[in-house]
Amino acid sequence: MPNLIWPRALSPDVGAPGIIGRTIHWLGVVMACAILLTAVGFAADGWSTTDAIWLSVIAIAMALAARGVRFLLARE
- Write down the domain spans for the chain: 15-74
What pLDDT was estimated at residue 49?
A: 83
d(CA 6, CA 9): 10
Is the model's pTM score more than 0.85? no
For residue range 31-46, list pLDDT tens digits in order.
Answer: 999 999 999 988 888 8
* 1-56 pLDDT per residue, tens: 555 566 555 667 778 888 888 888 889 999 999 999 999 988 888 878 888 889 99
DSSP annotation string for 30-44: HHHHHHHHHHHHHHH
